[in-house]
Amino acid sequence: MQITLCFDFGNTRMKCAVFRNDVLVNEVVMEDDSEQTIRQLIGEYHPDKSILSSVIHHNPVMEDLLKEFTRFHKLDHLSRVPVTTPVGKPETIGADRLALVVAAATLYPGKNNLVIGLGSAITYNYVNKYKEFIGGGISPGMQMRFKSLQAFTAKLPLVKADWNFPLAGYDTRTNILSGVILGMAKEVDGIIDAYEEKYDNFNVLLSGGDAGYFTRHLKKKVTLDPHLIYKGLYAISEFNQ
């Protein structure tokens, strides 16, 4: 039995998935990336392998600890991955996006996939049936939109996300919820439309911490998988071991 820790450090949260062989058995939302926190995870799960996807400036001590106690891999543009990446500047591709497209290519072999990550930013990532990551797009995520309305106006408040709101808002809070969340849902539907005009017969996979707010508002058929990035990290860990 092999235990693998898959660390996903995004702009909003630091998380760790625990795999027993190839089965995800637990998800840990981390309060910080201190030496004590990492040692506790190592002591609790006794991992054989570990992988880190980070888009933030994380504590470098954690890498030293993971190298000491596990077979550690840090995901970056030099990692070996089972997909080809777009020509240009591969070092600018976010580790989280790489993990998402690897998950899609691994879980749906021989299929075209549009992977949409709904987190701090929305990322659109297209990987074809030949395992070629074509590219995609990036736009502001839900929290970024809520915060920008507060930051760039004189009187609008910062609104907390809520799935329960009407189409026509009856006060400032519900107007913002309707505008942001329905606006994002229409954006996602519209981007899928645009890809359908250019590409044929592809799956649409939806993931990310904010995905649950939008599935009920989408007209397009999507597959929701909140653990998609972890599955991609595990596949990359195995590929590099």
Task: Tell me which residue of 61, 59, 60, 91 sits closest to 76, measured CA to CA.
Answer: 91
Q: How far apart are CA 231 and CA 99, in angstroms?
A: 8
User: What are the residue ranges of helices labelled H in 53-179?
Assistant: 60-69, 95-107, 142-151, 172-177
Catalytic residue list contains 96: yes
For 11, which DSSP code?
Answer: S
H or E element: which one contains 47?
none
C-beta contacts of 93-98 below 8 A and 24+ residues apart: 94/55, 94/123, 95/53, 95/54, 95/55, 96/8, 96/10, 96/53, 96/55, 96/123, 96/229, 97/123, 97/125, 97/136, 98/53, 98/133, 98/232, 98/236
Amino acid at 40: Q
Catalytic: which of 8, 33, 48, 96? 96
R_g (Cα) of the chain, nearest Å: 19
> Which amino acids are annotated catalytic?
96
